[in-house]
Structure 1
Amino acid sequence: MCGIVGAVSQRNIVPILIQGLQRLEYRGYDSCGVAVHQGGGLRRTRSTSRVAELDAQVAQEGVEGLIGIAHTRWATHGVPAVHNAHPHFSHGPGTDAKSARAGRIALVHNGIIENHDELRDELKGRGYEFLSQTDTEVIAHLVDSLYDGDLFAAVEAALPRLKGAYAIAVFCQDEPQRVVGAREGSPLVLGVGQGENFLASDAMALAGVTDQIIYLEEGDAVDLQQGKYWITARGEGGARVRVERPVKTVNAHSGAAELGPYRHYMQKEIFEQPRAIADTLEGIETITPDLFGEGAAEVFSQIDKVLILACGTSSYSGLTAKYWLESIAKIPCAVEIASEYRYRESVPDPKTLVVTISQSGETADTLAALKHARSLGMEHTLTVCNVGTSAMVRECKLAFITHAGAEIGVASTKAFTTQLVALFLLTLVLAKQRGSIPETGLEAGLRNLRHLPAAVQSVLALEPQIIAWAELFTPKQNALFLGRGRHYPIALEGALKLKEISYIHAEAYPAGELKHGPLALVDASMPVVTVAPNDQLLEKLKSNMQEVRARGGELFVFADADTRIENEPGVHVIRMPEHYGALSPILHVVPLQMLAYHTACARGTDVDKPRNLAKSVTVE
């Protein structure tokens, strides 16, 4: 969500800014723009189209410069429109707000400023004109109001006035040699080059430009010039102090991966799951606490319960893990939606292992929930994350880095299945530590994990049958998903995928809950997708299916081969290649991903960039 790129160089940086935005497109956006210092003033171009159109527009208008900033926006304040797109200019007393070169401050911003109304009223009273509905324009005017010949000093003075989350990049008409950045609650990195320096919200934006990356910390501000930079942090009493941050060599993935034979990145990523799982398991020969980092054995010996904090798809991987942790490791587990956990009164326990799950490692709600848990005295922290350089990894004592590779499609697929692999490994490690599983059970668990890539490959072969189902879903407006036990979270994930990319309203329920309300919705127009593994709840599930059929509902069943569920009028069955015991949820989610994907294709939606959604949710 929202992407920032900034640069100070001795060459025209517009191609670098545009390329950076293209590498951040996967995060989701509804508008984009670029601003540079050109001809002695500020020059910008903004668009509500894709970055490719912005690139053409920039070329047509002859926009170029040695310093500049660029942005992709996902709306929080104000509708998607050019006047709300970033970069924003300041429009102080005496400036012509309607001029293309108006103002002296140009600024881009990720995050949300919570006190923007208060600041807006103050600045209006001082003669500043607002042309957008955004909270961001407030920051540009505030910096302008504090400017007295030193941009860095003006930004430092503005920061204490801002309440909320932000990452900003700003430059000034009067200082054509510097770009200033700052962060609080939203990620921002500094890229160090040869005689040039860069800012970005994600190191991926700078792939191919520099691999020397500094991860700015909470409260940092940075001054970039051509051959130098410096960073300040909050000191005692609010004073700013100069600090050094380590430079890391980061080989960031480029978002411009080739699609190859696939129509969309989501389809490509669904089919990359066997490789992603294999890569995540590579080198794992034994079940040992060291898989989760140095000192894990000591941490695990001190905990007697688990708290999982996550959002969206990641929360469903946590719900699945709850079944594993309690049934196999015999350890109590609670799963909390991160955005809710930090705002309710809970009962902290210092013997809790706090596990955060995030694809990007920058999810704002999950980071905030982690900090809240730590503030309550729960210091045993572990993250399952796909980005080893992310804020989540830096904030947690322990980490397991999945190796799903760059996931471009907004709807998560391979990140989810590799999260499940990591959480099953955690289950086995804790089970071993607590003596709740015999050695033969550990060996069988690891053996089954190693077989997963081949098992998933067999599921992917079901695609032609799923395409046929997708045609039946195309005219539907609603759908129900049913699952029981550890497959209930998989039903939740299947419903989420369908609603995310096809825009069909879909809900998931434990099948036993049908009679407690959802059955009222069932009729001939309501498809009911059922996850039917051959486990101890199968006969109960069959009874729930009969309840659907008795009301005229149409069943679409993903059934294990030996469930004796047959195709008949009103009952469509796709047989899974094999039953996979405790790891069955990983296999059963794959056809649900494909069903959502092919239904969305049939309905003609923008699969990789569904409306109103963003890949990395870096604001609350």
Structure 2
Amino acid sequence: MCGIVGAIAQRNITPILIEGLRRLEYRGYDSAGVAVMNDDHSIQRVRAVGKVIELEKSLSETPALGHLGIAHTRWATHGKPAEHNAHPHISDGLAVVHNGIIENHAPLRKKLKELGYAFTSETDTEVVAHLLAYHYGQSKDLLEAFRQTLGEIHGAYALAVIHEDEPETLYCSRMGSPLVIGEGVEEHYIASDPLALLQVTDCFRYLEEGDYARVSREQCDIWNIKHEAVERPVKRYEHAAHSLDKGEYRHFMLKEIYEQPEAITQTLAGTLGDDHVLTALLGPEAETRLADIEHVHIVACGTSFHAGLVARYWIEAQVGITCQVEVASEYRYRTVVVPKNTLLITISQSGETADTLAALRFAKDQGYLATLALCNVAGSSLVREANWRLLTHAGPEIGVASTKAFTTQLVALLWLTTALIQARGGDKQQIITNINALKSLPGMVEQALQLDTRIAELAERFANKHHALFLGRGTHFPIAMEGALKLKEISYIHAEAYAAGELKHGPLALVDENMPVVSVAPSGSLLEKLKSNLEEVRARGGQLITFACERVEHAEEGTAQTITLPWVEDCISPILYTIPLQLLSYHVALVKGTDVDKPRNLAKSVTVE
């Protein structure tokens, strides 16, 4: 989604801004721009439609040099992608960049037009620029004008403002959209994501909901939503040591697929004993209250939703309590019944997913025992606002199509399932089985990655395909859903997943010699039923591709092809079988010639509804 970078320093900050925008490209955007305070205390704005490289070309023709500036990458919510809609927006000597949505922009626009302000864009952000200019014109106090503006706008936003009358000051605020302040030596920076600033600092102040700040080279003053001066501690960004380069890999997605053994190892570090899990990492309150949990609700979006669906099977089968999984974008808009002693789990890679954050905030008044954030970013809004937290340690994930974030979410959810069994005095053998399986998982994933070359050859089958079906049963049905999502995300092939038993209830009508049908078929109690479903595909000439356990025989006739994976315990089988589906989607995208890391129309971190 949209990205913000800002800086104030004694040196020229334009290279910092551009590099920051480049590091935010993974989020997805349609235009970019900068506003820099020149030495004569005038603001110079440069904007461009398309990639950051187009902005760099414009800057090479019209250089912008200064010690204070803000920059932005935009993903359209109001107004089509066009230079006049790109940020920053300017009004009466000030420039503004904005992430999020101003929900009351229409009445504010009407009011400002009546006051004589002319709008040059269709964006909601320009409303903020003119409103701030109006209040500054009344008070001639920029901090007070900023406060008044924040009091009038409603919605989700991260804002950064510079004004020609204060050439040594940067103002910023956040409400429902992330923003951090980076610390340097007589320099300060701001960004919507710490990754944007790792080239200059790894020390950050994380603004809380409703915070706003006045930032100079030497000082950072922060006020909370009640207008009280507050201190936000400086924290070192724990992922700073991770490389943000592709290294030897052609794409970030492939690099991140291959990083999964290490990501799983890091996520499990310090969590497993020989015959028990170490629940202290959840915090003292969570550790003592796990035994009180009688129901679980999981709320998430996209890939994280699929992780929640897998967890439902684990929790209900192994713990023996009910588990309900909700799409976050729907959760707030229906009547939610919360049984006594229910734990709410919210899942998000970034911790800034707008729908999931909104669901968490809605849930606080619904009578849950507690809320738990399962997330990859320790300083994120989701983690800070939940009662309990469970962190994955996947490191930065740059590719839009999630890979290592998904598998580490599954690892964390299986660990949490085991913690619930333990807290409730459940099956000791199941605890030991889960622990041993988790310990073996990195090595099993390494073996699955060795299928890369064979899967690359298999991907050629999809060169001229426009549709595909994915089948699975039990815990592997959500894995089939995830496989279909990956294929459609990055290859633009229409792919749908079905519980294999549903095949004859409609989807079978689509099967012919041109339809690839991908099935996930490990060993297990549902295997024989799945085999019967696959025979229905084979009988109709479908191009059957099966990922199966090495201990199970599958006939290969005609267009049918089977790729085998090592046997593993049932509990980790969904995680292992995710790997070949990720590789398949990656190699099909290469065959199709699409932009693997930045697929069209999508963004990495969805920070608006």
Aligned to 1:213: 204
| Higher deviation after alignment, 155-164 or 291-300 | 291-300
What's the CA shift for 1:255? 8.2
1:545 aligns with 2:534: yes
CA contact (8 A) 2:271 2:279 kept: no
Aligned to 1:234: 225
- Alignment partner of 1:589 out of 570, 578, 585: 578
1:264 aligns with 2:251: yes
- The 5 A counterparts of 1:112-191 are 112-148=101-137, 149-191=140-182
Q: Secondary structure at the match of 1:234?
A: coil
1:392 aligns with 2:393: no
Aligned to 1:316: 306
CA contact (8 A) 1:22 1:255 kept: no
1:4 aligns with 2:4: yes
Aligned to 1:613: 602
What's the CA shift for 1:570? 2.7
1:275 aligns with 2:262: yes
- Alignment partner of 2:364 out of 374, 381, 390: 374
What's the CA shift for 1:486? 0.4
Residues 471-503 of structure 1 show CA distances to partners (whole Å, capped at 9, x for unaligned) of: 111211111111100000000000000010001
Return structure 1 stretches of 4+ with deviation > 3 angstroms.
none
State the alpha-carbon separation in 2 of the partners of residues 267 and 110 from structure 1: 29
| Higher deviation after alignment, 299-308 or 571-580 | 571-580
State the alpha-carbon separation in 2 of the partners of residues 353 and 247 from structure 1: 31
TM-score, with length taken from structure 1: 0.94
Aligned to 1:40: 41
Aligned to 2:296: 306
State the alpha-carbon separation in 1 of the partners of residues 393 and 239 from structure 2: 13
State the alpha-carbon separation in 2 of the partners of residues 217 and 602 from structure 1: 45
State the alpha-carbon separation in 2 of the partners of residues 389 and 40 from structure 1: 35
What's the CA shift for 1:443? 2.2
Structure 1 residues 30 and 355 mapped into 2: Cα distance closer, same or farther (>3 Å)?
A: same
Q: Secondary structure at the match of 1:295?
A: helix
Question: 1:88 is aligned with what amino acid?
Answer: H
| Higher deviation after alignment, 49-58 or 493-502 | 49-58
| Higher deviation after alignment, 408-417 or 547-556 | 547-556
Aligned to 1:427: 417
What's the CA shift for 1:379? 4.4
CA contact (8 A) 1:266 1:408 kept: yes
CA contact (8 A) 2:270 2:278 kept: no
Aligned to 1:96: none
State the alpha-carbon separation in 2 of the partners of residues 11 and 109 from structure 1: 25
Aligned to 2:472: 483
State the alpha-carbon separation in 2 of the partners of residues 285 and 157 from structure 1: 51
Question: 2:427 is aligned with what amino acid?
Answer: I
CA contact (8 A) 2:239 2:396 kept: no
Aligned to 1:99: none
Question: 2:20 is aligned with what amino acid?
Answer: G
Residues 302-345 of structure 1 show CA distances to partners (whole Å, capped at 9, x for unaligned) of: 21011111111011011001101111111211111111111111
CA contact (8 A) 1:23 1:254 kept: no
CA contact (8 A) 2:399 2:597 kept: yes
TM-score, with length taken from structure 2: 0.96
- Alignment partner of 2:192 out of 190, 198, 201: 201
State the alpha-carbon separation in 1 of the partners of residues 550 and 24 from structure 2: 42
1:54 aligns with 2:43: no
CA contact (8 A) 2:350 2:375 kept: yes
Residues 592-620 of structure 1 show CA distances to partners (whole Å, capped at 9, x for unaligned) of: 00010000011111100111111111111
Q: Secondary structure at the match of 2:228?
A: strand
State the alpha-carbon separation in 2 of the partners of residues 299 and 43 from structure 1: 56
State the alpha-carbon separation in 2 of the partners of residues 607 and 234 from structure 1: 41
Residues 390-444 of structure 1 show CA distances to partners (whole Å, capped at 9, x for unaligned) of: 1111112222211111111010000110111111111111111222212x33222
CA contact (8 A) 2:296 2:344 kept: yes
State the alpha-carbon separation in 1 of the partners of residues 348 and 281 from structure 2: 18
| Higher deviation after alignment, 330-339 or 222-231 | 222-231
CA contact (8 A) 2:179 2:192 kept: yes
1:342 aligns with 2:332: yes
Aligned to 1:568: 557
CA contact (8 A) 1:203 1:252 kept: no
Residues 343-394 of structure 1 show CA distances to partners (whole Å, capped at 9, x for unaligned) of: 1111123411111111111111111111111111214121211111111111
| Higher deviation after alignment, 244-253 or 352-361 | 244-253
State the alpha-carbon separation in 1 of the partners of residues 590 and 523 from structure 2: 31
Q: Gapped runs of 5+ residues in structure 2?
A: none
State the alpha-carbon separation in 1 of the partners of residues 85 and 142 from structure 2: 24
What's the CA shift for 1:48? 2.2
- The 5 A counterparts of 1:465-476 are 465-476=454-465
CA contact (8 A) 2:295 2:342 kept: yes
What's the CA shift for 1:63? 0.6
State the alpha-carbon separation in 2 of the partners of residues 18 and 532 from structure 1: 47
State the alpha-carbon separation in 2 of the partners of residues 557 and 106 from structure 1: 56
Q: Secondary structure at the match of 1:357?
A: strand
Aligned to 1:457: 446
How big is the alpha-carbon RMSD for the aligned residues of Structure 1 and Structure 2?
1.6
Residues 10-34 of structure 1 show CA distances to partners (whole Å, capped at 9, x for unaligned) of: 2211111112112222222221111
CA contact (8 A) 1:305 1:333 kept: yes
| Higher deviation after alignment, 47-56 or 307-316 | 47-56
State the alpha-carbon separation in 2 of the partners of residues 524 and 180 from structure 1: 61
Question: 1:272 is aligned with what amino acid?
Answer: E
1:413 aligns with 2:380: no
State the alpha-carbon separation in 2 of the partners of residues 485 and 285 from structure 1: 26
| Higher deviation after alignment, 342-351 or 108-117 | 342-351
Q: Secondary structure at the match of 2:548?
A: strand
What's the CA shift for 1:254? 7.3
CA contact (8 A) 1:207 1:252 kept: no
Residues 50-85 of structure 1 show CA distances to partners (whole Å, capped at 9, x for unaligned) of: 223423432332211111100111111222222221
Q: Secondary structure at the match of 1:258?
A: coil
Q: Secondary structure at the match of 1:485?
A: coil
Identity of aligned residues (%): 55
Question: 2:228 is aligned with what amino acid?
Answer: V
What's the CA shift for 1:121? 1.8
CA contact (8 A) 1:205 1:254 kept: no
State the alpha-carbon separation in 1 of the partners of residues 603 and 310 from structure 2: 24
State the alpha-carbon separation in 2 of the partners of residues 290 and 332 from structure 1: 24
Aligned to 2:96: 107
What's the CA shift for 1:515? 2.0
State the alpha-carbon separation in 1 of the partners of residues 66 and 439 from structure 2: 53
1:222 aligns with 2:209: no
CA contact (8 A) 2:437 2:571 kept: no
What's the CA shift for 1:241? 2.8
- Alignment partner of 1:558 out of 537, 547, 552: 547
CA contact (8 A) 1:33 1:47 kept: yes
What's the CA shift for 1:176? 1.2
Structure 1 residues 152 and 379 mapped into 2: Cα distance closer, same or farther (>3 Å)?
A: farther
What's the CA shift for 1:584? 0.4
CA contact (8 A) 1:456 1:590 kept: yes
Residues 91-140 of structure 1 show CA distances to partners (whole Å, capped at 9, x for unaligned) of: xxxxxxxxxxxx41211110011121222222222222222221111111
| Higher deviation after alignment, 74-83 or 267-276 | 74-83
What's the CA shift for 1:251? 4.4
- The 5 A counterparts of 1:24-35 are 24-35=24-35
